[in-house]
Amino acid sequence: MFSELAVSTHQRREFIDITEPLGEVLRATGITSGIMTVYSPHTTAAITVNENWDPDVIHDFLLHLSSLVPAHNLQFRHGEGNSDSHILASLIGASTTLIIRNGSLYLGPWQGVYLCEFDGPRTRTVAVHIISDQAL
């Protein structure tokens, strides 16, 4: 099962919680057991799993990323000026695999799934692919 979500971002660097729409995609399939691949078809965005309870966690995350990979570096050559966004996309990663149990995403009590925007604002696509193992 394959589906695409459209996600609007509002900042240059921003984490958007996509846990709820991913759950809706899953429920619509009726699949109760298997794995879900969540994939960003962009070179300046990524997918991750982290806390979605206290928004200060993501604040601190973005703050630290701004020192790990600053937006500007005079030695960068890429003409679009967003090399930092490309670097962050690969450090976090374009795809994440989640487990499906009892018709729901198997997530820890504090976990949510995020689209990580590193060169917004834009409208991004998140691809979702589910493999069921019900019949196996």
State the residues that interact with a copy of itself by CB under 8 A: 1-2, 33-35, 37, 39-43, 48-51, 54, 56-57, 59-61, 63-65, 68-69, 73, 75-80, 83-84, 86-87, 89-99, 101, 106-108, 110-111, 125, 127, 129, 131-133, 135-136
Identity of the residue, 12 or 48, whose beta carbon is nearer to a copy of itself in the bound complex: 48
Give min distance, CB of 18 to a copy of itself, in A. Answer: 14
CA distances from 19 to 2, 14, 70, 103 (A): 17, 15, 28, 14
- 38 exposure class (CB count in 10 Å sphere: 0-12, 13-18, 19+): buried
Place of tokens 């958007």: 16
Q: In whole angstroms, what is the distance from residue 3 CA to residue 22 CA?
A: 10
- Residue 101 carries which side chain, given as an amino acid letter? R
| Angle subtended at Cα 11 by Cα 54 and Cα 48, rounded to the nearest 5 degrees | 50
Is the bond preceding 121 in cis, omega lying within 30 degrees of 0?
yes
Closest approach of a copy of itself to the CB of residue 30, in Å: 13
Minimum separation from the CB atom of position 97 to a copy of itself (A) = 5
Q: Which is nearer to a copy of itself, 28 or 99 (CB)?
A: 99
The DSSP output letter for 44 is S
Residue 21 or 83 having the CB closest to a copy of itself: 83
Which structure tokens are listed for 119?
Answer: 């060169």
Minimum CB separation of residue 10 from a copy of itself in Å reads 20
Nearest-approach distance from CB 29 to a copy of itself, in angstroms: 11
Instruction: Kindly tell me which of 12 and 37 has the beta carbon lying closer to a copy of itself.
Output: 37
